[in-house]
Structure 1
Amino acid sequence: MKNVLKSGLVAALFLLGTLNATHAEEFSAKVIAVMDGDTVLILRGNKQIKVRLAGIDAPEKAQAFGESSTQSLTELMLNKYVNVNSQAVDDYGRLVASITVGELNVNHEQVQRGMAWGSSRSKGKALLALHNDAKKAKRGLWAQTDPMPPREWRKVHAAPRQQYVAQHSICGSKRYCSQMDSCEEANFYLSHCNARSLDKNRDGVPCEHLCPAKR
């Protein structure tokens, strides 16, 4: 019996290690959409992956500085090739990762700019130090008298889980070419989100000004 239990424990630990290893990898990808101040959509090969920046929490879009945080991340990453160091997958199916653009750690930069909170639960003390420095300097959201942490804001403005999942799903609310930032993003919304308004002439090519038809 002891041998059976021991074998089962070893197998379970091996499986757990395998699952963790699946999500712990480093790779390059292109950012094709910015969802908010701490979440982006990347293109790896032909696969779109939603990524949550590890160790930070940006204001929700409806919060003060929510749009500013989103714009900051857009300037840092949109349509750029980045290096993704993945760590896990969260409850909403998003890859949790640290992202760098060249030598710039984007997770750190958002916190340093005062565009996100640095989590005290994150590994290492770098994010917490940047958080405290931005707060002391009153940068970004810290210019407010008493900014509410996103986790507290979400409690006050609680929504049903299904609604939260829908808001944080791969398909956002974009439906028009004027809202698209790249050909890759337009193709994604057309093929995966049923955004038919992007292809008015029904030729399979969305937003001709972004995606010129092949001749």
Structure 2
Amino acid sequence: MMLIRSLLLISLLLAGGVAQGAEFVAKVIAVLDGDTVLVKRANGLKKIRLAGIDAPEKAQTLGDTSRRSLADMVLGKQVKVASEAVDQYGRMVAHLSVDGLDVNAEQIRRGMAWEYSRFHNDRAMLALQEEARREPRGLWALSDPMPPWEWRKLHPSTLSEPSPHVGTSAAVDAPTADPVCASKKRCSQMTSCEEARYYLNRCGGKLLDGDGDGLPCEQLCAPQGKAP
């Protein structure tokens, strides 16, 4: 089983065309939650999980606030991506920066995510978390904030795509309901044609492609010279 899993991870790395430690610049076209974004590269779209942090789930208190915090920093912008790995679900695990700002660290400093490095040994991130706790900022202003890894244990049925911190058995048993699709359903919620195509391909839905021609949100995606 371990050999199979190792071979799977290697194949994911090769398929994604990104080696561990690689750096590149890409445009963020969607922010899925407080620690996950979708970027556009020359060879297609890639989902990125921010390394070393764990943000509240969408259904948790401050889940949407954390997502909006991340969106304010990166949505629609060119970001520098420093990849660390590709996880077993095909997501790139990486650090993001924009205009010299460490995005992962800033989510911690704002109190919008927990530090979640391997063995909780990232001293810089832990110092920022303690600063946010003292202020208190974001989730630390709550009387008893629940870490998302604990929340997921209590609400496994809400997970459509397992977190890196969720075991394989939980991932297999989880239902297929997709909170990503539930978060955006209308063209008025889309910020770009790339984002509209992503949601149409992943979620379908007549609200994005009312005439069924395969082109979502004509006001964003109509070919030049074609009236929306």
TM-score tier, shorter chain, comes to 0.7 to 0.9
Which residue type is aligned with residue 111 of structure 1? I
The Cα offsets for residues 161-187 of structure 1, whole Å up to 9 and x where unpaired, read as: 247585679x63333212212111112
Cα distance, 1:97 vs. partner?
0.2
CA 1:163/1:195 → structure 2, altered by over 3 Å: closer, same or farther?
farther
Q: Deviations over 1:81-131 (max 9, x none)?
A: 100000011232211000001101100110000000112536642111101
Q: Which amino acid aligns with 2:59?
A: A
Q: SS of the residue aligned with 1:35? A: strand
1:32 deviates by 0.7
Paired residue for 1:54, among 51, 54, 60?
Answer: 51
TM score, norm. by length of structure 2: 0.77
The gaps in structure 1 that reach 5 residues or longer are: 1-11
Contact kept, 8 Å, 1:32 with 1:41, in 2: the verdict is: yes
> Which structure 1 residue ranges, 4+ long, deviate > 6 Å from structure 2?
none
Question: Which position in structure 1 is the counterpart of 2:199?
Answer: 189
Structure 2 residue identity aligned to 1:145: S
- Provide the residue aligned with 2:91 in structure 1: 94
Match of 1:23 among 13, 20, 23: 20
Change (3 A) 1:164 1:94: farther
Alpha-carbon distance in structure 2 between the residues aligned to 1:85 and 1:139: 27
Q: Which of 41-50 and 135-144 deviates more?
A: 41-50
Where in structure 2 are there 5+ consecutive unaligned residues? 1-5, 158-169
How many residues end up aligned between the 2 structures?
A: 199
Could you tell me how far 1:146 is from its partner in structure 2?
Answer: 1.3
Report whether the alignment pairs 1:158 with 2:156.
Answer: yes
**Aligned residue in 2 for 1:144:** 142
CA distance in 2, matches of 1:53, 1:190: 24
Alpha-carbon distance in 1 for matches of 2:61, 2:46: 27
Residue of structure 2 in register with 1:105 after alignment: 102
Identity score, percent:
52
User: How far off its partner does 1:145 sit?
Assistant: 1.2
Aligned mates of 2:93, 2:28 — CA distance in 1: 15
- Pairwise CA RMSD: 2.7
The answer for the alignment partner of 2:116 in structure 1 is 119
Aligned residue among 204, 207, 216 for 1:206: 216
Secondary structure at 1:86's aligned position in 2? strand
Larger Rg, first or second structure (1 or 2): 1
CA distance, structure 1, for counterparts of residue 156 and residue 202 of structure 2? 28
- 1:172 partnered with 2:170: no
In structure 2, the residue matched to 1:5 is: none
Q: Is the 8 A contact 1:119 1:128 kept in 2?
A: no
Match of 2:29 among 27, 32, 35: 32
Which of 42, 46, 60 is the matching residue for 1:45?
A: 42
CA contact (8 A) 1:87 1:97 kept: yes
Query: Secondary structure of 2:218's match?
Result: coil
What amino acid maps onto 1:206 in structure 2? Answer: P
- The residue matched to 1:127 in structure 2 has which SS? helix
For residue 131 of structure 2, the aligned residue among 133, 141, 145 is 133
One-letter amino acid of the counterpart of residue 25, structure 1: A
Quote the residue 1:3 is aligned against: none
User: 1:125–1:100: structure 2 CA closer, same or farther, 3 Å change rule?
Assistant: same
Closer, same or farther in 2 for the Cα pair 1:198/1:46, shift >3 Å?
farther
